[in-house]
Structure 1
Amino acid sequence: MAIATITAKGQITLRKEVLKTLGVKPGDKVSVEVTPAGKVELGAVKKKQGLEAFFGSLHRPDEPTKSLEEINETIRKGWAGEL
């Protein structure tokens, strides 16, 4: 069993052995679930791959959605070296 200390910010650091067992590295995500028995379960969040990972990658929440014509115009400008 590994023991972790809670920081003043409410964070914990997991030992390398735990991270290796989960198969995660810095920047990866883990899921945290509290069981009805009051225990916490950690699990590695699998990264999306292939086309599924591409969906939404071009969307910017702070910008309005672009029409197909606007997208094509941006592509045209990029190829023409106007951007």
Structure 2
Amino acid sequence: MQESTVTSKGQTTLPKEVRTALGLSPGDRLRYMILDDGEVRLVRLQPVAGLAGLLKTRVSRVVSLEEMEAAIAEGATDL
């Protein structure tokens, strides 16, 4: 278990093992989530620029609007 000390200014240094586990680098931003039981979860924020290409399809074929509508209509009839 890792520990750190809080200074009079409310600052602390994250132990190296914690920084490594979160994949932190200088300048990264953190979010603190306070749970109902008082536990605090620390999460590294993802920069928006890092999300580029996240939804990029692996299919190289371009689909027409008509094909999309047909697929949607086919899916709707399966309900």
Q: TM-score, length-normalised on structure 1?
A: 0.57
Name the counterpart of 1:26: 26
Gaps of 5+ in 1: 53-83
Name the counterpart of 2:6: 6
Q: TM-score, length-normalised on structure 2?
A: 0.59
Cα offset, 1:5, TM superposition: 0.4
Cα offset, 1:30, TM superposition: 0.8
Gaps of 5+ in 2: 53-79
Cα offset, 1:33, TM superposition: 0.8
Structure with greater contact order relative to length (CA < 8 Å, sep ≥ 6): 2
Give runs of aligned pairs for residues 1-83 of structure 1, distance below 5 A: 1-49=1-49
Cα offset, 1:49, TM superposition: 1.6
Q: Deviations over 1:7-64 (max 9, x none)?
A: 01011110111011001111000110111100110011011127x7xxxxxxxxxxxx
Larger Rg computed on CA atoms: 2
Aligned residues: 52
Considering only aligned residues, what root-mean-square deviation do their CA atoms show, in Å?
Answer: 1.9
